[in-house]
């Protein structure tokens, strides 16, 4: 599904070589946050590596067209550290508008699935709350729900457990894996202390300077 060949970047100095299989759960651990953030951009084609190649779902990201890159991103759910929400949209709008824009299903089904995802993730705020009213954890919940609603082939989570209490970490991991089902999961972490994730991983990779 994703293959890296001798990849380096501005912050990732040691060559990275790996292959992520479809349906796997993979954990990447970075020494610094800027390395993890750059890694996310490189494997999704937002940023080119300084050296090496990324093969994403059979496409070399350096050589693929913008149209093909757009199609690949439709198959990719990304959950950013802070949720990656648009500040001038309501929580509910952040959740459903991407799925509506890409016409992944009819509007009624998307709305119904969105409501069900908020219920499963125990989102307790009013769905039409502004982003400013949400805690970082609630923003992450909306980001996870939005990624799942896109029905992607792979979900990439950037520091999903950052700043959470241990009880919330365990709960969130279980929810993510329940909602993702058999889809591929890729976690980006900044610590190997997250044993709950590491125990469940099929592949663990460390990025070092």
**8 Å CB contact between 31 and 37:** no
More confident residue, 70 or 20: 20
Instruction: Tell me the percentage of the chain whose pLDDT exceeds 70.
Output: 93
Nearest to 165 by CA among 173, 157, 177: 173
- Domains of the chain are 2-207 (3.40.50.300)
* pLDDT confidence bin for 84, thresholds 50/70/90: confident
- Tell me, yes or no, if the pTM score tops 0.75: yes
The total of other beta-carbon atoms located within 10 Å of residue 139's CB is 20
Query: Around Cβ 94, how many Cβ atoms within 10 Å?
Result: 22
């Amino acid at each position: 599904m994703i293959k890296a060949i001798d990849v380096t970047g501005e912050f990732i100095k040691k060559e990275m070589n790996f292959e992520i299989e479809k349906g796997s759960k993979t954990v990447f651990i970075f020494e610094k946050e800027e390395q993890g953030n750059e890694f996310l951009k490189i494997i999704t084609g937002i940023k080119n590596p300084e050296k090496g190649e990324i093969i994403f779902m059979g496409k070399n990201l350096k050589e693929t067209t913008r149209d093909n890159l757009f199609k690949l991103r439709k198959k990719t759910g990304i959950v950013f550290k802070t949720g990656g929400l648009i500040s001038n949209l309501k929580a509910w709008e952040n959740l459903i508008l991407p799925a509506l824009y890409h016409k992944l299903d009819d509007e009624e089904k998307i709305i119904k699935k969105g409501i069900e995802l908020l219920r499963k993730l125990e989102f307790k705020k009013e769905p039409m709350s502004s982003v400013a009213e949400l805690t970082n954890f609630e923003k992450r919940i909306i980001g996870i729900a939005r990624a799942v609603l896109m029905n992607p082939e792979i979900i990439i989570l950037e520091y999903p457990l950052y700043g959470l209490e241990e009880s919330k970490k365990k709960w969130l991991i279980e929810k993510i894996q329940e909602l993702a089902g058999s889809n591929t999961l890729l976690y980006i972490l900044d610590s190997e202390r997250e044993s709950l994730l590491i125990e469940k991983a099929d592949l663990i990779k460390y990025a070092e300077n």
